[in-house]
């Protein structure tokens, strides 16, 4: 095929003149035009392969952004032994409270039910990244963590990297983790392992973290949160009062208790106390704080670190219903098999009664002053309690209670929305205990 050298029109090879422009073919030299070569098969395959790899890698970024507001919990796998003492058997609780402009996330993250700190993050499509910094650890040093994962419905699968900073140096630890949603999207109805639910309406008293430092017989305890109010007495103060209580193996610091506490400081967002009692690493604890001005209370529970092997862990508690029919779902690990008779009684009916392995307390019932110098406690489910529990099921990872029974309400004490509760669970395998504290929605 040949073309006119002047206008580019196609001409017959033997023609002397271009039929379009009339230029003589001998005066305007003809030029040959060739088609561009097609890309080679090998190069084409390589380009397609690279495109597929890039698409797979960035696919999660290109998907619609799911609703991630709510609570997520899970235990990382392949935890190195050297890091186990810091992560406390690996139970993590993430609360995403807000997704802002540009996919920026805010909330809290807790480790082992003891440490709780703010988190920041970002979500693009289904890809999510989170970060947090844990300081003032009871074992010394601090931890920075970063998580990158993909939201897959009710799970977030990804990789968790911790940098453990201690006096001995900095140790990076990488683990895989799958976080499972606890509750419905945007329905944050249960306090997390960190021990406090999100406020439903201000003002509110809430405990976000409790940290222990020191040694048995000489512990310093820092309680962080909000809405604690002003101190009810001049500080420092060594004694007992009606606005603070700590429940370990025994009750201390409250009106009528034999063991007192040294209250060092008290602000609206932080309390600092010291204790010379017989608390030990691994002991379960419950802490109650009441605002002296509003008399609103909050609870928090967990274990004194380092957590011992065989200790059960509570990752979340969810509520539905109310009053005597309040349904309580306790998720976690290490609860052991059901105690004798639970969940079914010998006659095949759901078990209603007391056990040595679970106790529910309502800390709204106490005395700010008087009543013989000691508060009144609402307690249900433990051996000897007149108020019993109606069990639906009990497994190593979940306990379901479908309400209260026995003498519930006969003394005028009933569970109401907003009440600060405490839950203590004893493993049927090891006998070790853990505790949880938070408010009924």
- The least confident of 44-53, 207-216, 228-237, 328-337 is 44-53
Residue 187 belongs to a domain: no
Residue 145 belongs to a domain: yes
CA nearest neighbour of 313 among 332, 290, 289: 332
CB distance 287 to 224 below 8 Å: no
Identify whether residues 231 and 260 lie together within a single domain. yes
Q: What angle do CA 80, 83, 86 make, to 5 degrees?
A: 150
Residue 195 belongs to a domain: no
Q: What angle do CA 148, 104, 71 make, to 5 degrees?
A: 65
As for how many domains the chain has, the answer is: 3
C-alpha 292/C-alpha 121 separation (Å) is 36
The model's confidence at residue 213, banded by pLDDT at 50, 70 and 90, is: confident
The model's confidence at residue 395, banded by pLDDT at 50, 70 and 90, is: very high
Identify whether residues 111 and 130 lie together within a single domain. yes
Identify whether residues 287 and 401 lie together within a single domain. yes
Identify whether residues 396 and 417 lie together within a single domain. yes
According to DSSP, the β-strands at 155-166 and 244-247 are: unpaired
Task: Count the helix, strand and coil residues of the chain and give each as a percent rounded to the nearest 5.
Answer: 10, 45, 45
CB distance 427 to 410 below 8 Å: no
**Three-class SS of residue 11?**
strand
Main-chain dihedrals φ then ψ at residue 280, nearest 5 degrees? -135, 155
Residue 189 belongs to a domain: no
Tokens found for residue 84? 């186990």
- The least confident of 8-12, 106-110, 283-287, 436-440 is 8-12
Query: Across the strands, what pairs with 433?
Result: 426
C-alpha 77/C-alpha 101 separation (Å) is 33
The model's confidence at residue 391, banded by pLDDT at 50, 70 and 90, is: very high
CA nearest neighbour of 112 among 82, 130, 138: 138
CB distance 123 to 103 below 8 Å: yes
The reported pLDDT for the residue numbered 312 is 93
Identify whether residues 79 and 58 lie together within a single domain. no
Q: Running DSSP on this structure, what letter comes out for residue 292?
A: T
Tokens found for residue 16? 């002397």
Main-chain dihedrals φ then ψ at residue 131, nearest 5 degrees? -150, 150
Residue 262 belongs to a domain: yes
Identify whether residues 268 and 414 lie together within a single domain. yes
C-alpha 57/C-alpha 50 separation (Å) is 11
253 versus 4: the higher-pLDDT residue is: 253
The model's confidence at residue 330, banded by pLDDT at 50, 70 and 90, is: very high
CATH number, domain of 147, equals 2.40.128.30
Q: Provide the mean pLDDT of the chain.
A: 76
Identify whether residues 377 and 331 lie together within a single domain. yes
If you average pLDDT over residues 133-149, what whole number do you get?
63
Q: Running DSSP on this structure, what letter comes out for residue 408?
A: T
Give the other-Cβ count within 10 Å of 10's Cβ. 12
Main-chain dihedrals φ then ψ at residue 17, nearest 5 degrees? -130, 150
Q: Is the pLDDT of residue 191 over 50?
A: no
Q: Which residues constitute the domain of residue 18?
A: 2-62
Identify whether residues 176 and 223 lie together within a single domain. no
CB distance 79 to 100 below 8 Å: no
The reported pLDDT for the residue numbered 29 is 46
Residue 419 belongs to a domain: yes
Q: What angle do CA 377, 440, 438 make, to 5 degrees?
A: 75
359-to-71, 170, 309, 350 alpha-carbon distances in Å: 24, 41, 22, 18
Identify whether residues 79 and 211 lie together within a single domain. no
List of residues 6+ apart from 215 with CB closer than 8 A:
none
* pTM for this model (two decimals): 0.57
If you average pLDDT over residues 118-136, what whole number do you get?
75
Residue 154 belongs to a domain: yes
Q: Is the pLDDT of residue 44 over 50?
A: yes
The model's confidence at residue 305, banded by pLDDT at 50, 70 and 90, is: confident
CA nearest neighbour of 79 among 217, 148, 195, 174: 174
Main-chain dihedrals φ then ψ at residue 328, nearest 5 degrees? -120, 125
List of residues 6+ apart from 349 with CB closer than 8 A:
none
Tell me which of 62, 91, 113 is where a domain ends. 62
Q: Is the pLDDT of residue 205 over 80?
A: yes
Tell me which of 42, 62, 82 is where a domain ends. 62
The model's confidence at residue 401, banded by pLDDT at 50, 70 and 90, is: very high
Tell me which of 166, 182, 198 is where a domain ends. 182
C-alpha 425/C-alpha 433 separation (Å) is 6
If you average pLDDT over residues 374-387, what whole number do you get?
79
Identify whether residues 48 and 104 lie together within a single domain. no
CA nearest neighbour of 160 among 121, 188, 115: 121
The reported pLDDT for the residue numbered 144 is 76
CA nearest neighbour of 368 among 258, 273, 291: 291
Identify whether residues 58 and 112 lie together within a single domain. no
Residue 190 belongs to a domain: no
Torsion of CA 308, 311, 317, 321, to 10 degrees: -150
Identify whether residues 300 and 326 lie together within a single domain. yes
Percent of the chain with pLDDT over 70: 69
Q: Running DSSP on this structure, what letter comes out for residue 327?
A: E
Give the other-Cβ count within 10 Å of 163's Cβ. 14
Cis amide prior to 328 (ω within 30 degrees): no
């Amino acid at each position: 095929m040949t073309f006119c050298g002047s206008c580019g029109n196609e001409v017959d090879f033997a023609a002397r003149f271009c039929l379009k422009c009339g230029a003589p073919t001998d005066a305007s030299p003809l030029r040959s035009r060739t088609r561009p070569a097609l890309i080679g098969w090998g190069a084409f395959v390589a380009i397609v392969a690279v495109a597929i790899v890039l698409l797979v890698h960035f696919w999660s970024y290109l998907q619609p952004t799911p609703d991630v507001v709510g609570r997520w919990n899970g235990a990382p796998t392949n935890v190195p032994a050297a890091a186990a003492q810091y992560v406390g058997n690996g139970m993590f609780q993430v609360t995403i409270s807000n997704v802002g402009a540009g996919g920026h996330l805010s909330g809290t993250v807790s480790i082992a039910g003891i440490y709780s700190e703010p988190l920041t993050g970002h979500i693009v499509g289904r890809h999510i990244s989170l970060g947090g910094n844990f300081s003032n650890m009871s074992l010394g040093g601090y931890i920075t963590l970063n998580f990158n994962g993909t939201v897959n419905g009710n799970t977030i699968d990804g990789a968790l990297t911790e940098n453990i900073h201690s006096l001995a140096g900095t140790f990076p630890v990488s683990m895989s983790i799958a976080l499972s949603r606890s509750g419905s999207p945007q329905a944050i109805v249960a306090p997390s392992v960190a021990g406090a639910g999100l406020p439903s309406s201000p003002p509110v008293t809430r405990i976000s973290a409790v940290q222990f430092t020191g040694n048995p017989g000489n512990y310093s305890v820092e309680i962080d949160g909000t809405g604690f109010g002003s101190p009810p007495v001049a500080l420092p103060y060594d004694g007992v009062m009606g606005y603070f209580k700590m429940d370990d193996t025994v009750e201390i610091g409250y009106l009528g208790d034999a063991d007192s506490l040294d209250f060092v400081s008290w602000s609206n967002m932080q309390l600092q106390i010291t204790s010379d009692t017989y608390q030990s690493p691994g002991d379960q604890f419950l802490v109650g704080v009441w605002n002296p001005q509003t008399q609103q209370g909050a609870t928090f529970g967990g274990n004194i670190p380092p957590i011992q092997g065989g200790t059960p862990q509570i990752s979340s508690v969810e509520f539905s219903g109310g009053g005597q029919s309040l349904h309580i779902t306790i998720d976690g690990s290490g609860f052991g098999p059901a105690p004798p008779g639970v969940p079914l009684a010998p006659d095949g009916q759901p078990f209603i009664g007391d056990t040595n392995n679970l106790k529910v307390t309502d800390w709204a019932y106490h005395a700010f002053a008087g009543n013989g110098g000691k508060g009144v406690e609402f307690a249900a489910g433990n051996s000897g309690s007149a108020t019993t529990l109606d069990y639906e099921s009990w497994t190593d990872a979940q306990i379901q209670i479908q309400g209260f029974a026995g003498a519930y309400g006969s003394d005028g004490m009933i569970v109401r929305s907003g009440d600060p509760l405490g839950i203590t669970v004893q493993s049927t395998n090891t006998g070790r205990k853990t505790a949880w504290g938070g408010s009924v929605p």
